[in-house]
Amino acid sequence: MNSARVVTSLMFAVAAMLGTGAPGYAAATHVTTSDFDCSDKPDGNYSDPADSTKYYSCVAHKHAYLQSCPPGQHFNPGRDQCE
């Protein structure tokens, strides 16, 4: 995994813990592992299987943060960004 992806994941994790969001994004929501299981995934971003405008950021194989793309955008897992 590249360092930019790790930094992005950590940035959103910290923003979620502080209850703030990145500009243009809603605050992240920490979810339980029963909602999205990060235990078998490396740190990074993963598409929400039910909603293409959302994605999960996994941190430390146990924390999942639900992220929302800006209005009108969808998460592109191949490019690891909202477009």
* The residue count for the chain: 83
Mind listing the pLDDT tens digit for each residue in 14-58? 554 444 444 444 555 555 545 788 888 899 999 999 999 999 999
Whether this model's pTM surpasses 0.85: no
pLDDT of residue 47: 93
Going by pLDDT thresholds of 50, 70 and 90, the confidence category of residue 62 is confident
3-state secondary structure of 78: coil
Strand partners, 29: 66
Mean pLDDT of 49-78: 91
Domain ranges of the chain: 3-82
DSSP H or E run through 8: helix 3-18
Dist. CA 32–CA 44, nearest whole Å: 16
Residue with tokens 């950590």: 10
